[in-house]
Chains A and B, each alone.
Chain A
Amino acid sequence: MTPIGWQEKWTLRYAVVGVLFLALSGFEGILMRTQELAPTALHGMEVALNTIRPVAQEPTTAELFYSMLTAHPIVGIYGFAYMCVMGAFYFLVPFLLQKEIRHKSLVPINFFLHIIGVMTCWGASFFGLFNSLYTLYWPLPVSYDRVPLIGSIAFTLGAALIMINILLFSYNLFSTVLSKSNPRSYSFWQFLRAAFGIPRLLKLFGKEDKSAVNLDYNGLPVFIVAIGRGSIDTVINAIVLLSAGALILIYGVAALAKAPLNPSAVDALIYKNWFWWGLDMVADGNVLMYTAGVLYLLIPLLVGRRLFGESVVKTVILVDLLVSLGVWSHHLLGDRVQPLVMRILSGQFVTWGEFFTMGLTTFTALMTIWLARPVKFSPPLKFLLGAIFGFIMGGSAGLIQANVGLNLVFHNTQWVVALHAHTFLLTGLGMLLFAVVYALLPMLTKLEWRSQRLVDVHFWFWIVGSVGMAYTMGRAGAVGMLRRTLYEGTMYQPYLTVALIGALVMAIGLLAFLVNLLATLGWANTLSLVIPDKWLKPRLGQAKS
């Protein structure tokens, strides 16, 4: 058994649970694909599961499908992505700043609260049949003739727990960066002003920002700059979603008390704007900044060369933050009642800001690798290149649909969810997080990855499966197949068949990764992640004797 430090062990726990959430989310995806391909194929499983569901009537296949569709992204994004990000940041931030996490007790609290929150949302959908989807368009989540009341309340409570936990995590990150133990300590407002680039803006106009005297934001490691700016979006996202959740909860509690409130008291369009503004802080906000930060951190480490154009990338991250605050209308391009000026400016033009920031980020990353030739294509570097490919492909699809003209035939089709969202999340973000795990594991445990062959199996199966699945469903979207719709009939069966094969190929890749992870860690280290050391050591001692 390898001695693993306290923080390192917690980071491993976050990563392992995150990957298990990915497996759960993927399993749900495969079930939904199967259900679309052959609606009666899962009937036996449905009957068995219905016996343990606390619902009065036997649910329909459609209810089960849409409930799973509601749970799927929560598990994938807040379960997998956030869990891995939290684990990685809890190790990397103190490592790079050379000081400890400010509130160490929050590390395990965040871990367990997040699991409880995600599993509550999952349970509210899987068992409670809450089916409003993650979009929660008003007034669907409070339309109790369509969504179950108890499921709605449970889902909202789970989501609130996740958001509160994310706020605690962000507080701990900010607190660590700002803590007095740092030789460059500064106040929260100084940090925030610097994060939005106010001192630099004032300098541009020949003025000095006197409140920024102690803060050399540009002197911070670029990864910390990305986390600082990205976490502003993380906080906004959590606050907005909390407010939407509170609203739904108030209606739910009132309905439970037999005093239902009038849903039309809330304007559906204003709610939609508010909700998407907050929700987009993830998809078009922190993901991009955290991704840029990871690329800027890992690539120089992996190729042994200083980051190309380092002074530019900090500005790029600042622009990313500003862009993320104004892009949400691209989710409302199908809403003819959204003012045209909003659709064109916020929905289309501001969204193109991401083309420049991601374009420059990609250029910086690739130039750094190019100038460092010859480079060794280590596992994390391979996955980083795969991730860059995924971001280019998913980002290009996103720019096509975030267009006032083209959105008319792409909105709510499989194009959006497959070619854009899933490529972005699975090929882009997924491979990026795998790269982080491949890079961090040897740093955390002093162990080398056991099998290079399994790394290659993971890489090729994952990229071929995810791109194949997304491309096929994107094609289905281009010929009219809608997202969030359970079709009857066989019209899209060829697309669904290829997509299911793609999903299974990805699953083989993930399995190869899990086997390699287990083989690298060994049983003793793996068990030490879930069993307290004081219990484990005597048993291991007995086993050895």
Chain B
Amino acid sequence: MERSERLWLGLLIVVALVFNVVTLSPLVPWQQWMLWGNPLPSQRIPVEFQNYQIKLPPQGIQVKAGEFVEFVATSKDVTYGLGVFRQDGSMVCQMQVVPGYENKLLWKFDTPGTYDVRSTEYSGPRHSEMFVANAIRVSR
């Protein structure tokens, strides 16, 4: 291996180390509880998927900012996705909803407001209809 190759390889190693350390560290906010902590959720929110329908708790989803909640999603037919979106359309968080499993996602909402829920995985031609506006209300 020539000197320039060794130098280049060294640079690649540095870049890889820095990127992986930073993105696995608590500098990425949700890594604090997904990798480095195991906080107990204040509530568990069941979400059922079946036949292109997203079935949320009948009383709606009320969450307090700063509290941990756990979404527990199940599917009775095909694979779906549970995605939480801000009002401007940007994504807050998501997970795949695999049939036959309890799919769990722990989350902490920092900002009060209203959030939409959309299926983030293709499940058939009516997939685009799987949208629930103002599904989650986060209060102070």
Residues of A within 8 A of B (CB): 60, 62-63, 66, 131, 133, 135, 137-140, 143, 146-147, 264, 267-269, 272, 308-309, 311-312, 332, 334-337, 344, 348-349, 352, 355-356, 359-360, 363, 367, 399, 403-406, 408-409, 411-413, 479-482, 484-488, 491-492
Closest to B83 in A: A482
Could you say which of A66, A308, A336, A488 has the most chain B C-beta atoms within 10 Å of its C-beta? A336
A406 to B93, CA, bound (A): 10
Are B5 and A334 closer than 8 Å at their CB atoms? Answer: no
Closest to A410 in B: B91
Are A352 and B100 closer than 8 Å at their CB atoms? Answer: no
Closest to A367 in B: B4
Closest to B129 in A: A62
A440 to B63, CA, bound (A): 63
Closest to A358 in B: B12
Partner of A137, one of B79, B90, B92: B79
* Also in contact, A349 and B20, with CB within 8 A (given A131-B125, A406-B28): yes
Contact string against A for B residues 19-39, beta-carbon threshold 8 Å, 1 for contact and 0 otherwise: 110011000101100110000
A360 to B31, CA, bound (A): 31
Are B103 and A143 closer than 8 Å at their CB atoms? Answer: no
A309 to B9, CA, bound (A): 13
Residues in A whose Cβ lies below 8 Å from that of B5: 309, 312, 360, 363
Contact of B138 with A by CB under 8 A: no
| Count of chain B residues near A, Cβ 8 A | 53
Are A268 and B20 closer than 8 Å at their CB atoms? Answer: no
Distance (whole angstroms) from the CB of A464 to the closest CB of chain B = 28
Partner of A269, one of B91, B93, B94, B98: B98
A352 to B12, CA, bound (A): 10
Distance (whole angstroms) from the CB of A267 to the closest CB of chain B = 6
Closest to B16 in A: A352
Are B78 and A146 closer than 8 Å at their CB atoms? Answer: yes
Contact of B110 with A by CB under 8 A: no
Contact of B95 with A by CB under 8 A: yes
A355 to B20, CA, bound (A): 12
A interface: dominant SS: loop
* Also in contact, A140 and B123, with CB within 8 A (given A312-B5, A480-B89, A480-B90): yes
* Also in contact, A267 and B100, with CB within 8 A (given A409-B93, A479-B89): yes
Query: Which stretch, B41-49, B54-62, B114-122, touches the partner chain A?
Result: B114-122
- What are 13 A-B pairs with beta-carbon distances under 8 A? A140-B122, A264-B99, A334-B81, A335-B98, A336-B103, A344-B24, A352-B16, A355-B15, A360-B5, A405-B24, A406-B23, A412-B94, A480-B86
Are B79 and A363 closer than 8 Å at their CB atoms? Answer: no
Are A408 and B93 closer than 8 Å at their CB atoms? Answer: yes
Residues in B whose Cβ lies below 8 Å from that of A146: 78, 123-126
Distance (whole angstroms) from the CB of B100 to the closest CB of chain A = 6
Residues in A whose Cβ lies below 8 Å from that of B31: 404-405
Partner of B127, one of A312, A348, A355, A485: A485
Partner of A408, one of B4, B19, B94: B94
Are A66 and B23 closer than 8 Å at their CB atoms? Answer: no
B interface: dominant SS: mixed
Residues in A whose Cβ lies below 8 Å from that of B104: 336
Q: Which 9 A-B pairs have the closest CB atoms?
A: A146-B124, A484-B122, A405-B28, A480-B90, A480-B89, A63-B125, A337-B101, A334-B96, A335-B96
Are B89 and A363 closer than 8 Å at their CB atoms? Answer: no
Are A360 and B78 closer than 8 Å at their CB atoms? Answer: no
Are B95 and A335 closer than 8 Å at their CB atoms? Answer: yes
Are B23 and A403 closer than 8 Å at their CB atoms? Answer: yes
Residues in A whose Cβ lies below 8 Å from that of B103: 335-337
Closest to B75 in A: A268
- Which chain B residues in 1-18 approach chain A with CB under 8 Å? 1-2, 4-5, 8-9, 12-13, 15-16
Contact of B128 with A by CB under 8 A: yes
Are B12 and A348 closer than 8 Å at their CB atoms? Answer: no
Closest to A333 in B: B96
Contact of B135 with A by CB under 8 A: no
Are A356 and B9 closer than 8 Å at their CB atoms? Answer: yes
* Also in contact, A488 and B128, with CB within 8 A (given A267-B100, A356-B9): yes
Partner of B91, one of A311, A409, A492: A409
Residues in B whose Cβ lies below 8 Å from that of A411: 94, 96, 120
* Also in contact, A140 and B96, with CB within 8 A (given A404-B24, A405-B23, A480-B85): no
Are A486 and B9 closer than 8 Å at their CB atoms? Answer: no
Are B1 and A312 closer than 8 Å at their CB atoms? Answer: yes
Partner of A360, one of B9, B24, B34, B101: B9
Partner of B81, one of A355, A412, A491: A412
Residues in A whose Cβ lies below 8 Å from that of B12: 355-356, 359-360
Partner of B30, one of A60, A359, A408: A408
* Also in contact, A363 and B24, with CB within 8 A (given A139-B78, A269-B98, A480-B89): no
Contact of B105 with A by CB under 8 A: yes
Residues in B whose Cβ lies below 8 Å from that of A137: 78-79, 121-122
Closest to A131 in B: B125
Residues in A whose Cβ lies below 8 Å from that of B99: 139, 264, 268
A413 to B126, CA, bound (A): 18
Distance (whole angstroms) from the CB of B22 to the closest CB of chain A = 9
Closest to B120 in A: A412
A62 to B128, CA, bound (A): 8
Closest to A407 in B: B94
Are B79 and A140 closer than 8 Å at their CB atoms? Answer: yes
Closest to A409 in B: B91
With A269-B98, A312-B5 known, 16 other A-B pairs at CB within 8 A are A62-B128, A135-B122, A139-B77, A139-B78, A143-B124, A146-B126, A337-B98, A352-B20, A355-B15, A356-B9, A356-B13, A356-B16, A404-B24, A409-B94, A413-B91, A492-B89
